[in-house]
Structures are given as C-alpha cells and as structure tokens.
Amino acid sequence: MISCIVLCLDEAACIEQVLQDLHKQEYGQPYELLLADGGSTDGTQELARPYARIVNCERGKARQMNQAAAEAKGDILFFVHADMHLSPSTFSAIHACIYEHGYDGGGFANEFDTHNQKIKQLGTLMNLRLLDKREQSDKGIFYGDNGIFVRRTVFEQLGGFREIPIMEDYDFSLRMKQHFRVLRIASPKIVVSARRHIKAGFVKTRLQWVLIRKLYQWGVSPAFLAKWYRDIR
C-alpha cells in the first residue's frame, strides 16, 4: 500500500486539484490519502474531507509529515505538497521503482507550471552549473517539491524528518542517499507551482534557495535561516 501524505496549511485555493489528481491514479494496488494539516482556518479541511483522511498536526512541515506518517497504514510513504499537479501514472512509477527495481526511496524530476524555462535557467546560472547542468535531484538529493517517497521501514530506520524549521527535506534526503538506494524518476514529472517566484521575485527566490542551502551546509542554524523564507500562498 502507498500512503500519500499531502502537506498543507491554508491551501483552500489548490487543495482540491491535487486531491483530484491523486484520485485519478491508474494504479491497481491499495493506497490511502492523508491530509497532514497544520491548523488551516480557510476551509481547507472541509474541501479535502471528501477525498482524504484528515490528520490534525502540530504546525511545522517536519512535524506534520512525521505525525501523519505515524497514522499511515502503508508500507510506502509518499510526501506531496498541496500545490502540485500529478500524473495518473505517479503511483505506478513509485511501485515500479521500489518493488520491481529494488530501490528504497527517491523523488521525481519536476517542472514549474509557468515560467519553467526561466526558472530552470536561473537555477543553472546561480548554482554555477554552466558545465555540469545536473540538478540536485539528478544526484539523488531531493526537496519537498520533488515528491519524496520512501519505504516505511527505511523512514523508521532514519528516524523520520528532523524537526527543524527549514531544510528538513534536504536533510532527510541526504541521510536516505547515504544509507540506502535512491532513484530520481524522470517520467512522469511532478508539476509544481511557480507562485513563490511570481510573488516574491524570480531572482530573489532562486538566490534564497542557493544561499540557504550553502549556509545550512556551513552549519548556520535552521531557525535563523527560516526567518529568510516565509510561506507564500
């Protein structure tokens, strides 16, 4: 069984779309949908209730994902953001990765719903990838917008997500890659919203991503880094 955990907080504008995508999966095995809600007050839960089991969680991405994972029944955990669009073959690709090819987890290639070429080009320039244009996911390092999936046993061995206010996905991915076999699924891609780039600015957003990752690697406190990166709806 795949347990798909949708991470959200005040996502009434888009929650039905991602849940409808998940209900359209062309997948012949059991699955369940859980909404890891961090205390929405905009009607998100009411919109989601016909599609998913609601798990009321303490606010914070890592806490929400860990608490929903504890409630999940599946042997594969798949973590999804509320602003994603998913292909009907997404679950089948995860199943093949783990049960047919023997991987322990991974993530998907992604693209943005608008301005994709511009955003990707900025990422290439700001990460100085002029010769080696591989993204982090090409190297087996995944963020939340890659749709991280993992065997439950592996998730438990790793102790879940570290409950830090930012970079919890990056940290988990590094630990998963270090100890287990991971794969980047090239197709189907996950489509993610460009809303942060549009509202906060394209250059500013990409620069934030680069600097936050570098500073985290250099040991700067996640609590300090989180102040630079506010939620955008």
Question: Which residues span the domain enclosing 45?
Answer: 2-113+140-193
Decide if 220 is inside a domain.
no
Give mean pLDDT, residues 207-211: 89
Q: Which residues pair with 111 in a beta bridge?
A: 191
Decide if 217 is inside a domain.
no
Decide if 125 is inside a domain.
no
* CA 94 to chain centroid: 14
Domain count, the chain: 1
158: CATH? 3.90.550.10
pTM of the model: 0.95
Decide if 179 is inside a domain.
yes
Residue 8 pLDDT greater than 70, yes or no: yes
Distances (CA, A) of 55 to 5, 23, 79: 9, 18, 14
Decide if 65 is inside a domain.
yes
Mean pLDDT of the chain: 93
Residue 197 pLDDT greater than 80, yes or no: yes
Whole-number percent of the chain with pLDDT over 90: 80
Return the DSSP state at 100. I
Decide if 231 is inside a domain.
no
Residue 132 pLDDT greater than 70, yes or no: no
pLDDT tens profile 48-91 = 999 999 999 999 999 999 999 999 999 999 999 999 999 999 99
Residue 131 pLDDT greater than 60, yes or no: no
Give mean pLDDT, residues 148-166: 98
Q: What is the pLDDT of residue 130?
A: 54
Rounded to whole angstroms, the Cα distance separating 66 from 159 reads: 9
Q: Which residues pair with 37 in a beta bridge?
A: 8, 56
Decide if 165 is inside a domain.
yes
Q: What is the pLDDT of residue 128?
A: 63
Rounded to whole angstroms, the Cα distance separating 27 from 10 reads: 29
pLDDT classification of 157: cutoffs 50, 70, 90: very high
